[in-house]
Amino acid sequence: MMGISFWQLLIFALALALFVWPTIRILRKAGRSGWWVLLWFVPVANIVMYWVFAFVRWPKVDDAPEPDVNAF
């Protein structure tokens, strides 16, 4: 049997950090819990998650003040 080498584990950990950490940051900025990222590991649920978050209202964005277009 082949085991997992150190390099494979290291590459997996780096890939996980490069994709999961920014997704958690985006979810938190959107006003959602970072735990939603766990759906990323469920094959069909991750696709549904992207579609839901693409079209649902984001509370932090909706509460943000409108930019002042006459600032210049």
Task: Tell whether 68 is covered by a domain.
Answer: no
pLDDT of residue 10: 93
Task: Tell whether 1 is covered by a domain.
Answer: no
Task: Tell whether 20 is covered by a domain.
Answer: yes
Specify whether the CB–CB gap between 32 and 53 falls below 8 A.
Answer: yes
Predicted TM-score of the model (pTM): 0.56
Token pair for 19: 């994709």
**Residue ranges of the chain whose pLDDT lies below 50:** 1
> For 31-48, how does the pLDDT look when each residue is reduced to its tens digit (9 = 90+)?
888 888 888 788 888 888
Task: Tell whether 44 is covered by a domain.
Answer: yes
Looking at the structure of the chain, the number of domains it has is: 1
Structural domain containing residue 11: 6-62
Residue 53 CB-density burial (10 A; 0-12 exposed, 13-18 middle, 19+ buried) = middle
